[in-house]
Amino acid sequence: MSTITTLVWAELLYRLYPDVDVVTDDQQWMNGHVKPPIIQLETDIVSEKTHTPQAVRIIEDVGLIFRFKKVEDPGAQQPYIQIDVELLRAYLRKHKYQVASQAHKTLLVLQEPTIKTFKDRVEFECRYSYLLNTDSADISLPGEKKPEKINHFYVKSDGEEIEA
């Protein structure tokens, strides 16, 4: 799971659904530590390719599961209080399937999502790509070895080594 894209998706979901909790850990849901309504968020890296010497294009899948709250009244016509997934779909259409994050300085370019509706949840799946800057010191790709930076330079002057 990519940390940057998880933060970008969480930022978007909190903006669109401020009253709904976003969960990134499946074990929390499986162990019953969170109660609906919630949105489960999962991202998975599909591929990464060098785009330029300074950037890598990452392709990932995202899965959002909108879990609905069950109504306690057994006689209710609608047994679940649903989360409006059309709000997310309309936002993506309006922004031409691009999600921009100011806080994380990342732009996700999405493909058309697939949405499956069930009685207690809606599953939203989508593939997207983004560029990851490889010059940044805090970001590294798996298996990549970065050369050590040289911060001090020395020159010989009159047989003596001095810092330049």
pLDDT in tens, 88-125: 999 999 999 999 998 888 999 999 999 999 988 999 99
Q: What is the pLDDT of residues 133-146, one digit of tens each?
A: 876 545 555 556 66
- Report the SS3 class of residue 55: strand
**For the chain, which domains are there?**
3-139 (3.30.2000)
* pLDDT of 66: 94
Q: What are the tokens at 139? A: 């970001």
Residues, the chain, total? 164
Look up the pTM and report it. Answer: 0.74
CA distance 96 to 109: 9
